[in-house]
Amino acid sequence: VPTDRALIEPGDIPAANMVFVLVAWASGAFLGGGTAARIARQAKRRLALIVGAFFLIAGVYNMATIPSPLWFWIVGILLFLPSAHLGAKVLGGPEEQ
Protein backbone atom coordinates (compact mmCIF):
# COMPACT_ATOMS: atom_id res chain seq x y z
CA VAL A 1 0.00 0.00 0.00
CA PRO A 2 1.55 3.33 -1.01
CA THR A 3 1.97 5.92 1.73
CA ASP A 4 2.06 9.02 -0.48
CA ARG A 5 -1.48 10.44 -0.78
CA ALA A 6 -0.91 11.34 -4.41
CA LEU A 7 -0.24 7.68 -5.23
CA ILE A 8 -3.19 6.19 -3.34
CA GLU A 9 -6.03 4.91 -5.49
CA PRO A 10 -9.53 4.39 -4.04
CA GLY A 11 -9.12 0.61 -4.21
CA ASP A 12 -5.74 0.55 -2.43
CA ILE A 13 -7.14 0.87 1.09
CA PRO A 14 -8.59 -2.42 2.42
CA ALA A 15 -12.38 -2.41 2.85
CA ALA A 16 -12.09 -3.58 6.48
CA ASN A 17 -10.05 -0.49 7.30
CA MET A 18 -12.65 1.73 5.65
CA VAL A 19 -15.49 0.07 7.57
CA PHE A 20 -13.55 0.72 10.79
CA VAL A 21 -13.37 4.42 9.85
CA LEU A 22 -17.14 4.49 9.25
CA VAL A 23 -17.78 2.88 12.64
CA ALA A 24 -15.49 5.43 14.30
CA TRP A 25 -17.26 8.31 12.54
CA ALA A 26 -20.70 6.98 13.52
CA SER A 27 -19.57 6.54 17.13
CA GLY A 28 -18.17 10.07 17.24
CA ALA A 29 -21.34 11.61 15.80
CA PHE A 30 -23.51 9.50 18.15
CA LEU A 31 -21.56 10.49 21.25
CA GLY A 32 -21.14 14.10 20.11
CA GLY A 33 -24.85 14.48 19.39
CA GLY A 34 -25.75 12.77 22.64
CA THR A 35 -23.40 14.98 24.63
CA ALA A 36 -24.72 18.16 23.00
CA ALA A 37 -28.29 17.08 23.74
CA ARG A 38 -27.42 16.13 27.32
CA ILE A 39 -25.83 19.53 28.01
CA ALA A 40 -28.60 21.55 26.31
CA ARG A 41 -31.77 22.47 28.16
CA GLN A 42 -33.77 23.19 25.01
CA ALA A 43 -33.44 22.50 21.29
CA LYS A 44 -31.62 19.24 22.01
CA ARG A 45 -32.23 17.70 18.60
CA ARG A 46 -31.20 20.85 16.74
CA LEU A 47 -27.92 21.10 18.65
CA ALA A 48 -27.21 17.41 18.09
CA LEU A 49 -27.77 17.88 14.36
CA ILE A 50 -25.39 20.86 14.36
CA VAL A 51 -22.73 18.59 15.88
CA GLY A 52 -23.58 16.00 13.21
CA ALA A 53 -23.19 18.67 10.53
CA PHE A 54 -19.69 19.49 11.78
CA PHE A 55 -18.84 15.78 11.58
CA LEU A 56 -20.30 15.71 8.07
CA ILE A 57 -18.15 18.65 6.94
CA ALA A 58 -15.03 17.05 8.41
CA GLY A 59 -15.91 13.69 6.84
CA VAL A 60 -16.44 15.17 3.38
CA TYR A 61 -13.11 16.98 3.67
CA ASN A 62 -11.46 13.71 4.68
CA MET A 63 -13.01 11.81 1.78
CA ALA A 64 -12.02 14.57 -0.65
CA THR A 65 -8.38 14.60 0.46
CA ILE A 66 -7.92 10.83 0.78
CA PRO A 67 -9.19 8.97 -2.30
CA SER A 68 -12.24 6.92 -1.36
CA PRO A 69 -14.50 4.60 -3.37
CA LEU A 70 -18.06 5.63 -4.20
CA TRP A 71 -19.65 3.28 -1.63
CA PHE A 72 -17.60 4.95 1.11
CA TRP A 73 -18.79 8.40 0.01
CA ILE A 74 -22.44 7.30 0.00
CA VAL A 75 -22.35 5.58 3.38
CA GLY A 76 -20.19 8.31 4.89
CA ILE A 77 -22.50 11.14 3.86
CA LEU A 78 -25.62 9.29 5.02
CA LEU A 79 -24.07 8.33 8.36
CA PHE A 80 -23.43 11.50 10.35
CA LEU A 81 -26.79 13.20 10.84
CA PRO A 82 -28.77 10.04 11.72
CA SER A 83 -26.02 8.99 14.15
CA ALA A 84 -26.08 12.39 15.88
CA HIS A 85 -29.89 12.33 16.00
CA LEU A 86 -29.91 8.84 17.49
CA GLY A 87 -27.32 9.93 20.06
CA ALA A 88 -29.60 12.79 21.09
CA LYS A 89 -32.57 10.46 21.46
CA VAL A 90 -30.68 7.81 23.43
CA LEU A 91 -28.36 9.95 25.55
CA GLY A 92 -30.01 13.38 25.57
CA GLY A 93 -32.54 13.03 28.34
CA PRO A 94 -35.89 14.84 28.46
CA GLU A 95 -36.46 18.27 26.94
CA GLU A 96 -37.08 21.03 29.50
CA GLN A 97 -40.16 23.19 28.98
Question: Per-residue pLDDT for 3 more than 80?
Answer: no
pLDDT digits (tens, 9 = 90+) for 36-76: 999 998 999 999 999 999 999 999 999 998 888 999 999 99
For residue 5, what pLDDT is reported?
64
Contact in structure between 18 and 75 (CB atoms under 8 Å): no
DSSP letter at 74 equals: H
**pLDDT category of residue 9 using cuts at 50, 70 and 90:** confident
Q: How many CA atoms lie within 13 A of 58 on its CB side?
A: 14
- Cα dihedral across residues 63, 67, 69, 70: positive or negative: positive
Question: Per-residue pLDDT for 1 more than 60?
Answer: no
